[in-house]
Amino acid sequence: MDIKSPMSRIATDRSPKSSLKRSVKPAKPAKPVRNHGRSARLPMYRIIQIHELLKEGKFPNCQALSDDFEVSYKTVQRDIDFMRDQLQLPIEYDSARRGFIYTKEVNNLPMVALKEGEVVALLVAQKAAEQYRGTPFEKALRSAFTRLIEGMPASSEISLSDLSAAVSFRPSGPPSADLESFQMLSNALMDSQEVSFSYTKPGDGKGTERVIQPYHLGCIGGVWYLIGLDLARKAVRTFALARISGPKNLRRKFTRPKGFSLDAMLGNSFSAFETKNAQLVRILLDPISAALTGERRWHPSQKLVFRKDGSAELSLKVGLAPDLEAWILGWGSHAKVLAPLALRHRIKATAQMIAAQYR
């Protein structure tokens, strides 16, 4: 459901007199609007919009805001009360203008007090974003986290510097992608508009032009992918953003399939490669690889059965694809494919070619 802008409902001056009252008591509507849509689930969205209206001197009132946000009259009252009483914002009701005003200049909303665990989570998120250091995403992410942390109360009992020294991320091979391309593709996706770009497959000398109806942007294994309908090939394809160049928004609207789900599309996949036919994959792991494999959840179907000697048999219900093969080969001699036979033969052939390079 689209949320109408609160700008569309502005209280007008209907009285020659001007007076200010602290209580939130404009006349109640006969039938308050009740809705369980998007705005009803996002109180901070409403508070931010109310704040912008007050800053601009638009005199919003509960009736207008209730209609625009498609929530009840009392919900808006609670939002106003929270802003005034909890956020300590100078809000009062101007009965002459039939709307609320700021009685003092307010530039930014104060941050809501955070609990210790929430502060730690925020810092960990900031540290996680450091995997984009040196990429086009670094500047935007750094700016966003700086604004968040600067707005935190100075009386916080938690030392951010101490936490920063205690928590860190050391990413391996951070993804390479263009921020402007990412923004353009995400905007086209949200507006359901077709895009075109040149796409270069690994090993190809030059890219091929694609026209896509974008369905989804997903970060899989630390790499960003665009999933969409390739109009020329009449099939849903997955494109690594790092291999996309010269993207353009064609401004042609399309209807995204209601039933599309990335989870359903990649349900049988080990990682980013779409596979249709899932098979039971069985891998024998020695004690070292068994212990390490058990520390992570590689796939929802994963089952690990340990043996007395510390080794284990890993079973997965997935389709056979290059990403699965690469993962198995990454264990070297610590992993042995038991089934299916086709996968066993492919891993054996690849291992023989690797060995031949060192003769």
| pLDDT single digits (tens) 275-296 | 878 999 999 999 999 999 999 8
What is the distance between the alpha carbons of residues 212 and 250, in angstroms, rounded to a whole number?
Answer: 10
Tally the residues of the chain.
359
What is the distance between the alpha carbons of residues 110 and 152, in angstroms, rounded to a whole number?
Answer: 8
| pLDDT single digits (tens) 207-261 | 899 999 999 988 887 788 899 999 999 999 999 988 999 999 999 999 988 878 8
| pLDDT single digits (tens) 150-186 | 555 544 444 544 555 666 666 666 566 667 788 889 8
Say what the pTM is: 0.55
pLDDT of residue 38: 42
- Asked if residue 248 lies in contact with residue 294, where contact means CB atoms within 8 angstroms, the answer is no
- Asked if residue 210 lies in contact with residue 197, where contact means CB atoms within 8 angstroms, the answer is yes
Question: What is the residue-wise DSSP string for 175-214?
Answer: ----HHHHHHHHHHHHTTEEEEEEE--TT-SS-EEEEEEE
pLDDT top residue among 41 and 289: 289
